[in-house]
Structure 1
Amino acid sequence: MQPTNSDDYRETYAGLPVQPTPLDEEDPQPDPGAVAWYLDACDGGEFEAISESFDWFFDNVDTAKVKAIVIGEWEDAYDTGSAPIVARLAKNADRLPELRSIFLGAMTFEQSEISWIQQTDVTPLLEAYPKLERLEVRGGTGLAFSPLRHEGLRVLRVETGGLPAQVVRGIGASDLPALEHLELWFGVEDYGGDATVGDCADILSGQRLPALRYLGLQNSPFADELAAAVAAAPVVARLEALSLSMGSLGYEGAEALLSGQPLTHLRRLDLHHNYLTGAMADRLLAALPSTDVRLDDRRSREEDWRYVAVSE
């Protein structure tokens, strides 16, 4: 189950075409389970408050068949958190028995910079939807995640310009026996990214993630440290794909990967946006001839400081 790579999820999500709301009264309503419903609110739009968007959705759609929901912009998202949205979805779980996929915060940078998006504790979504298979969140400010056990979740993605350490530890302390794809964007301290490589210990052990096949520890300013930890991490042996992309990976991190446990079993190793020399890139390619190694977007090693791909 691969995540959608669209920037704003306006076209497809979870393998389904995205259906904006509200529908034109003259247009036929699609099969509620054959589309991903896009709910949003903004000045000058059809809905000025996200609560109005939900009102229309529950009044006009056979929600018992809905499988996927994408939450876009909400009013004053840079100042108002997503707690009312999470609460509304949790409260109405009985009206959404087939819901399997949620994206919370599908905003472009024109709508809100990623680190301005105010989030909340998203654990109630997993508690309310035990059959949820995919949860994706954009924005780390105010984000929280409490340890839990969830039998159905297969994809968990958290895109941030600053990921709180509590979220990393909360995920690592959770029992997620079905999780296949875990992707975390760490970001920088200036935007709340206070996680360290030590906070990833439970994730790297893999003890609570027996089905994990894709691990993305991305957008990290401490990518070299992460690479060194990954080089000896038990979880790596069962992975099919590993990503340390979008961050500050340099010579030390690449050397750690080359000298650590074998990575030849990986189908894909994504290291794009890195600070590697051409010689080191050639060494990685030579060491992993059967692996799809992505090394594009190499940054200049002469720069005074290394920066991650996504921060503000």
Structure 2
Amino acid sequence: MTFADHFETFYGLPVHTLPEPREEALPAAGGVAWRLDCYAAGDMPFADLWRSFVDRVPSAEVRALVIGPWWDDEYNDLRPALELILADATRFPALRALFLADVTGEECEISWLQLTDVTPVLEAFPLLEELGVRGGDSQGLGEEPLSLRPVRHEALRVLRFESGGLPGQVVRAVGASELPALERLEMWLGVSQYGGDATVADLAPILAGGRFPALRHLGVQDSELQDEIAAAVASAPVVAQLESLSLSMGTLTDTGAEALLRGQPLSRLKRLDLHHHFLSESVADRMRTAFGATGTEVDLSDHRAPHRWRDEEWRYVAVSE
């Protein structure tokens, strides 16, 4: 899987990329999700692009912000750009959604996106409702990797980490955070080769339920441990509070599917997403029959066959590099 296109919508708003300075009229500040992209701005350095943005757009009305490529020439990590945003946080009292790194595969592979500690975002924007992060710097090129500290945030409703290798430290910090309004949590764990060292034990506080009382959707995806995760979810108390569950994009096999079939009833779920899987047709049919009888929509699209090399076979996640 690659990221071939930039966002068209975000936070329910059409995405509008800030153009190069001209006399043309701009849309209403609160009517779009503003996207900042150094390439689209004529290779303008991010510091100049940010200043152009706050000078041209009424910042007090901005509701959603999407950060695209923040480098104009030589690639650099996110931290300096993020520091500029955080320094002006008080100028954005209406900001409710932020996505860091709306970057396509042609612009930069996900495993090369050099991020930083994103905790200050939640500290600087106490009314933020949605935070999305793509990348993680699994190549170790940045000054610091993607990280998160346990935090309490009263307003956050959506938290999403897209990574080919999500650090276990981030997963543990999520599980230790207090997010009473959180409704949707999605984490792409990735693979160990690209820094994805999270374990099933790291997920325990989340799977235990009650940590996030408003949680209605949980995605633990893109993992080479997908069978183990499925087995843990099969008896996890958190399932009772969910309306939808995603164990997609990973290396799910018949072993994980059988665990779901034998485990607690999942009939409360409206949707179970298992797309990009390695199930046999017979087990996939059993899943369709079992969940079809309960009215649960099951996504078993994108069936994959393992790669074979000599006498061995290996399975792969949807997003790694």
Same fold (TM over 0.5): yes
Query: C-alpha displacement at 1:46, in angstroms?
Result: 1.9
1:68 and 1:111 map into 2 onto residues whose CA distance is: 22
Q: 3-state DSSP class of the match of 1:186?
A: strand
For the pair 1:85 / 2:102, whether they are aligned, the reply is no
Aligned positions of 1:1-20 closer than 5 A:
8-20=5-17
- Change in 2 beyond 3 A, CA 1:189/1:77: farther
TM-score (norm: length of structure 1):
0.94
Q: 1:310 matched to which residue of 2?
A: 319
Q: 1:118 matched to which residue of 2?
A: 114
2:94 and 2:110 map into 1 onto residues whose CA distance is: 29
Query: C-alpha displacement at 1:80, in angstroms?
Result: 2.1
- Change in 2 beyond 3 A, CA 1:206/1:90: farther
Aligned positions of 1:199-278 closer than 5 A:
199-278=202-281
Q: 3-state DSSP class of the match of 2:66?
A: strand
1:61 and 1:281 map into 2 onto residues whose CA distance is: 51
2:19 and 2:55 map into 1 onto residues whose CA distance is: 11
Query: C-alpha displacement at 1:9, in angstroms?
Result: 3.7
Confirm or deny: 8 A CA contact 1:216 1:243 kept in the other structure: yes
1:151 and 1:187 map into 2 onto residues whose CA distance is: 29
1:189 and 1:117 map into 2 onto residues whose CA distance is: 16
TM-score (norm: length of structure 2):
0.91
* RMSD across aligned positions (CA): 1.7
Aligned letter for 1:15? G
Q: 1:296 matched to which residue of 2?
A: 301
Query: C-alpha displacement at 1:76, in angstroms?
Result: 7.0
For the pair 1:155 / 2:158, whether they are aligned, the reply is yes
Query: C-alpha displacement at 1:25, in angstroms?
Result: 2.6
Q: 3-state DSSP class of the match of 2:187?
A: strand
Aligned positions of 1:177-216 closer than 5 A:
177-216=180-219
Confirm or deny: 8 A CA contact 1:79 1:118 kept in the other structure: no
Q: 2:140 matched to which residue of 1?
A: none
Query: C-alpha displacement at 1:292, in angstroms?
Result: 0.8
Aligned letter for 2:109? E
Aligned letter for 2:16? Q
Query: C-alpha displacement at 1:13, in angstroms?
Result: 1.2
Aligned positions of 1:21-60 closer than 5 A:
21-22=18-19, 25-42=22-39, 45-60=41-56
Q: 1:62 matched to which residue of 2?
A: 58
Q: 2:142 matched to which residue of 1?
A: none
Query: C-alpha displacement at 1:79, in angstroms?
Result: 5.0
2:237 and 2:73 map into 1 onto residues whose CA distance is: 39
2:269 and 2:202 map into 1 onto residues whose CA distance is: 24
1:241 and 1:113 map into 2 onto residues whose CA distance is: 29
- Change in 2 beyond 3 A, CA 1:261/1:78: farther
- Change in 2 beyond 3 A, CA 1:105/1:77: farther
- Change in 2 beyond 3 A, CA 1:219/1:48: same
Confirm or deny: 8 A CA contact 2:245 2:273 kept in the other structure: yes
> Could you list the per-position Cα deviations for residues 20-68 of structure 1 after superposition, in whole angstroms to 9, with x for gaps in the alignment?
11355332221100011111213x8524321111010111110000000
Aligned letter for 2:18? T
- Change in 2 beyond 3 A, CA 1:237/1:33: same
Confirm or deny: 8 A CA contact 1:148 1:174 kept in the other structure: yes
Query: C-alpha displacement at 1:8, in angstroms?
Result: 4.2
Q: 3-state DSSP class of the match of 1:286?
A: helix
Aligned letter for 2:320? S
Confirm or deny: 8 A CA contact 1:32 1:65 kept in the other structure: yes
Confirm or deny: 8 A CA contact 2:114 2:136 kept in the other structure: yes
Aligned letter for 1:107? V
Q: 3-state DSSP class of the match of 1:75?
A: coil
Query: C-alpha displacement at 1:77, in angstroms?
Result: 9.4
Aligned residues: 306
> Could you list the per-position Cα deviations for residues 118-165 of structure 1 after superposition, in whole angstroms to 9, with x for gaps in the alignment?
000001000011100000010012110100110100010100010000
1:55 and 1:143 map into 2 onto residues whose CA distance is: 25
Confirm or deny: 8 A CA contact 2:101 2:133 kept in the other structure: yes
